Amino acid sequence: MSHGTEFSVELTGGLLHDWQQRNRRATIPHAIAELRKAGNLENLRRLADPSVGPYRGRYPFLDTDLYKTLEGLAYEVDREDGAPAGAREFFDEVVELLEQAQADDGYLNSYFQDRDQPKQPWSDLGWGHELYNLGHLIQAAVAAQRRLSDGRLLTIARRFADLVVRKYGVDGAEIVDGHPEVEMALVELYRETGDEDYLTQARLFVDRRGQGKLKHTIFPGEYFQDHVPFRELPSVTGHAVRMAYLAAGAADVHLETGDPTLLAALERLWDDMVATKLYLTGGLGSRHSDEAIGDRYELPSERAYAETCAAIATMQWAWRMFRATGKASYLDVYETVLYNAYAVGLSADGTAFFYDNPLQRRPDHEQRSGAEDGGELLRRSWFGCPCCPPNIIRWMSELQDHVAVARDNVLYVGMYAGARITADGLTVNVSTNYPWDGEITLTVEDAPAEERAIALRIPRWASEAQLDGQPVDIGWAVTKRNFKPGDVLRLTLPMGPRAHGSHPYLDATRGAIAVARGPLVYCVEQQDVEAPVDDLLLTPAAVHRAVARERDGHLVLELTAGVAPAPAPELYPVLTDQPQDSASHEVPVTFTPYFLWGNRQALAMRVWLRTERDD
């Protein structure tokens, strides 16, 4: 979406900047240590030296955890203020191992190349994830080329991609991978190299899905989005990460080909998802059994799967839809996911992770994140299937890439953070404490002679926003003029607490209230209230009277909630004509940002609370 010769965004302060600093200081060194401990490097090393020991891990796609980490490191190893501890050495070591491990024909997968494995390359496309592996390799390679001018990974990735084009291109076997991801990577490889074979291959993979090209085992075709062609999907369905990755890839194909049938399908699927299948936090996926999206309005709070990888995939899809249409509404969803469903996946100290992200924890809940036995009741330091931690790392490293874009002499600022943005001669400094504060100041540092426009996104919850003291509508607020150094734009977004209800078809939260402020969803942890969280009763009026105060560098909300009388012991009591859910007394309650829950003792938590009735 950016045209011209000069465009850059650097985060300089605020929450997103703090997250990136934590990523460099804590998460990346932690992940490097965990990857070494898990044996990911030995899996590559043993291809040349079997004495290293057997293949480590249960899954054939563990190379992707290296690739995602390398993608993040491409943004970090050459920083002026210093690379994360061990980052450069790890980056070079893995690249050298990949160079040594790649087969003569370009194939690369430490599991399928392992002589002790029972499966051969390309023998299990449903579950082998070989093209999923390639996709993450490509994305790491493109990042290394663009950020470091290091073409080693790109050479490796192109050799593998060229093999895929020969085997499965226009004149090859008509197959698809069980896990979409390679589609958007191939489009990015086309953008980097100009080789149209990669764009054609991405289009082929999108078009082939749903035509019986994939052998299904364990789960039916719907799980793989392979039961009907993509353009005919009635709704987002199946495995949540697969669905959002496929949609993001299809959006990339549309962006490069202009295919209107793809865009029409994407808009229809997106609108249906937002209206019926997305959690208040932006989480996607309500089923643990198959990590799937579920039916319309099937959004249970305590059983929300809402995998962290699905949050990242949803943001990727949202960003591409914004690029395709220019609509601010896609960035509204992106922002919700960023500050809630994505951010909650990482602990406050940056070294522990949620795999799934429920909106409620019951007092006696014992299931571990990631469905693994033992370990901590809340976040874990690593997983047997550790797809989420490296995904968090790469996305955290790339946050600045999703703050603003420039197109047709307009600078679109879609995310608010302390930042310095340069777009073809126009440089602005953004100063804000968002999302804690709704005051955003843009100061022009440099400006070209010709007229330019700056467009600021007004979120859908900011109906009383003002730009330079004047009301502005939801969407884009555009200022167009001959800017001069020193010019200032002041945007004020209302940050009062909001009470949210839910659609009447959403049985799990019918009649309940959730609390939000700005882009942040809030929750109650048992540590912050003397009464059981399950007995708390809220009214919209109580939410609107909530007071924000600082605690440990973030804002919590303090309010007074009712407490219901002790419930009848029967699981299904007979109802009378007496009013239900009336408070017996009131207690002070502190609501904490949802993304920060689970950093203390493993106690009960709720996003949605019962409503106090007046009758």
For 406-464, the pLDDT digits (tens) are 999 999 999 999 999 999 999 999 999 999 999 999 999 999 999 999 999 999 999 99
Q: What pLDDT is recorded for position 615?
A: 41
Question: Taking residues 532-550, what's their average pLDDT?
Answer: 97
To the nearest whole number, what is the mean pLDDT of the chain?
Answer: 95
| CA 519 – CA 525 distance, rounded (Å) | 19
- Report the amino acid identity of residue 359: L
Q: How far is CA 476 from CA 109, 473, 491, in A?
A: 45, 8, 12
Residue 2 is predicted with a pLDDT of 38
> Which pLDDT band, with edges at 50, 70 and 90, does 292 fall under?
very high
pLDDT band at 32 (very low <50, low <70, confident <90, very high): very high
Q: Which of 448, 446, 429 is nearest to 489 (CA)?
A: 429
Residue entry with tokens 């919850």: 461
What is the pLDDT confidence band of residue 82, given thresholds at 50, 70 and 90? confident
pLDDT value of position 353: 97
Average pLDDT over residues 259-288: 98
What is the sign, positive or negative, of the torsion defined by CA atoms of 81, 340, 405, 191? positive
User: In the predicted model, is pLDDT for residue 614 greater than 60?
Assistant: no
Angle at 428 between CA 426 and CA 430, to 5 degrees: 160
Per the document, the length of the chain is: 615
Torsion of CA 400, 405, 411, 414, to 10 degrees: -60
Number of H helices, E strands in the chain: 15, 21
Q: Between vectors from CA 176 to CA 123 and to CA 238, what angle results, nearest 5°? A: 105
404-492 CATH, one of 3.90.25, 1.10.760, 1.10.3470, 2.60.40: 2.60.40
Given a cut of 60, whether residue 549 has pLDDT beyond it is yes
> In a 10 Å sphere around its CB, with 0-12 CB exposed, 13-18 middle and 19+ buried, how is residue 450 labelled?
exposed
Q: How confident is the model over 153-162, as a mean pLDDT?
A: 98
- pLDDT given for residue 347 in this prediction: 98
Inform me whether the pLDDT recorded for 236 exceeds 80. yes
Tokens of 486: 């020193």
Q: What is the pLDDT of residues 41-72, one digit of tens each?
A: 999 999 999 999 999 999 999 999 999 999 99
443 backbone dihedrals φ, ψ, rounded to 5°: -115, 125
Structure tokens at 258: 């202009």
Domain residues of the chain, as ranges?
39-220, 237-243+255-402, 404-492, 497-611
Can you tell me whether residue 559 is helix, strand or coil? strand
**pLDDT tens for residues 378-405?**
999 999 999 999 999 999 999 999 999 9
Residue of 277, 283, 264, 269 whose CA lies nearest to 325: 264
Residue in the structure block whose two tokens are 């609501």: 591
pLDDT value at residue 5: 53
Whether the model clears a pTM of 0.85, i.e. scores above it, the answer is: yes
**pLDDT tens readout for residues 469-518:** 999 999 999 999 999 999 999 999 999 999 999 999 999 999 999 999 99
pLDDT (average), residues 278-286 = 98
Identify the weakest region by mean pLDDT among 80-89, 284-293, 495-504.
80-89
Mean pLDDT value across residues 565-579: 85
pLDDT at position 4 is: 43
- Rounded Cα distance, 180 and 133, in Å: 10
> What average pLDDT does the segment 84-90 reach?
93
How far is residue 544's CA from residue 542's CA, in Å, rounded to a whole number?
A: 5
Helix axes 260-276, 240-257, angle to 10 degrees: 150
- ∠ CA 341-344-348, nearest 5°, is 160
Residues 6+ apart with CB under 8 A from 148: 74, 77, 78
Place of tokens 């049938």: 261
> Is pLDDT above 60 for 316?
yes
